[in-house]
A = this chain, B = another copy of it.
């Protein structure tokens, strides 16, 4: 049973100046979700640059995680730069990286078939894993004349499914064949988010759709490497040798960010600058409670004032 499922809702406390100070003092590493915390679509959220600068000046380690697999870490570095934020590729953990890191961690030697965008392909290149599919299968059509069959590569040992705006039936069938017919073929999902902030104007169907399509034809459950699964957190904790109770996870989603943090034994802070409203947090249906909640990341700026 997950820890968060038994935390009563009443334990979600609004962040105050005093508790903000205590939280920052107790935290060695902040893990930030990006969409809804740092930015919304292509717009920076108010007060973010100053807050990150303050935390860096206090010697905190900052890590940025995102379930969005469309970019690689290198791609995200450019996005941070374009918003005026200085972040190194080593500080970024995208689910595209997580997919590649997972395969590397199990010493995967076969080929991957990718339903997804350039981020996954770049990260696979980074760890030297051969791949097919991805953007080169955009626009492909299937002919369904009598006797027609699709051939697939029997050396594919993993299908990676990430968000793909060019999802099509060719890719669905290719992925399905690999998973159903190649013995031992893994089904890896970068994440299963229902919706995502592709633009700042609307919520868009997320990778839950692409993963749902492959689940529907294979009747298989995927290995999830992004939030809320444990893989990325364990990877980060091992890599930097951090104690989990000295990490604070900051996110805007209860069922990915806060669940990820609670299940991993981290402190958690929900910001209301993304998909979750206070009503959703306080609803009787919600069983996931963060340690604290607050309107936006910049509410941590009060710490600087108390300290000054």
Binding site for B on A (CB under 8 A): 41-43, 142, 144-150, 164-169, 172-173, 176, 180, 192, 194-195, 198-219
What are the nearest 10 A-B pairs in CB distance?
A212-B216, A208-B216, A212-B212, A205-B217, A149-B202, A149-B201, A42-B146, A209-B213, A213-B213, A176-B205
Given contacts A164-B169, A205-B216, A211-B216, 13 further A-B contacts (CB under 8 A): A146-B199, A146-B200, A147-B199, A149-B199, A149-B201, A149-B202, A150-B202, A167-B213, A176-B209, A194-B216, A209-B214, A212-B217, A215-B216
Q: A164 to chain B: which residues have CB within 8 Å?
A: 169
A168 to B205, CA, bound (A): 12
* Other-chain contact of A199, B144, B168, B210 (Cβ < 8 Å): B144
* Other-chain contact of A209, B142, B198, B202, B217 (Cβ < 8 Å): B217
Q: Is the CB of A195 within 8 A of B167?
A: no
Q: Is the CB of B217 within 8 A of A172?
A: no
Q: Closest CB of chain B to A119's CB: distance in Å?
A: 14
